[in-house]
Structure 1
Amino acid sequence: MDNIEIEEMFQALGPVTIRRMFGGKGVYHMGRIVAVEVSGEILLKADDVSAPEFEAAGARRWAYEGRKDKPVSMPYWSIPDDAFDDPDIMARWARLAYEAAVRAEK
């Protein structure tokens, strides 16, 4: 996914900064990471407060294979399908990701 497409996805939040990281990209808003791009997929930040909403919407949590082939779950979730066709729905998920990023700092 190119940077312009990523910026458009997060336009409801305002300006985002995109930085290369770990073979993918980090998406930042106001200095806080709100999403990562891994293998062409954007994954939104979530936490104990917002993860149940992502799960209820059919999103899946990102995990990678760690040591001894054990999956390591990360605090990032796929974007619910209906958000891709509706900027208002995407805005809601982007705001939830930003709120999780703010809570993570505390």
Structure 2
Amino acid sequence: MDDDHIRELFASLGSITIRRMFGGKGIYCEGRIFALEVDGEILLKADALSAPDFAAAGSRQWVYTGHTGRKPTAMPYWSIPDEAVDDPDVMALWARRAYEAALRARG
């Protein structure tokens, strides 16, 4: 996914910064990472407070398999709920949840 499309997707949050990382991209708002792009898929940050909402919306939690022989690790990133894919207003709500999780992660 190109950077312009990512910025458009998260325009509701304001200025977005994108940095390459581990073969994907980290997506930041005001210096806080709130989403990733991995293998062409956008994943939104969640935490103990917001993860149940993502699960209830049918999102999948990202499991990093890493190197061969390593144990798969559930990461705090979830797929975008189907309801948000084609609705910018709903996407804005999920983007805000992800950003709020990023803020809580920093204490």
TM-score by length of structure 1 reads 0.96
Count of aligned pairs between the two proteins = 106
Gaps of 5+ in 1: none
Identity, in percent, stands at: 66
For residues 36-92 of structure 1, give each alpha carbon's deviation from its aligned partner in whole angstroms, at most 9, with x where no partner exists: 000000000000000000000000000022574421010000000111110000000
Partner of 1:22: 22
User: Aligned-residue CA RMSD in angstroms?
Assistant: 1.0
2:94 and 2:62 map into 1 onto residues whose CA distance is 16
Partner of 2:31: 31
1:1-106 to 2 correspondences below 5 Å: 1-66=1-66, 68-106=69-107
Gaps of 5+ in 2: none
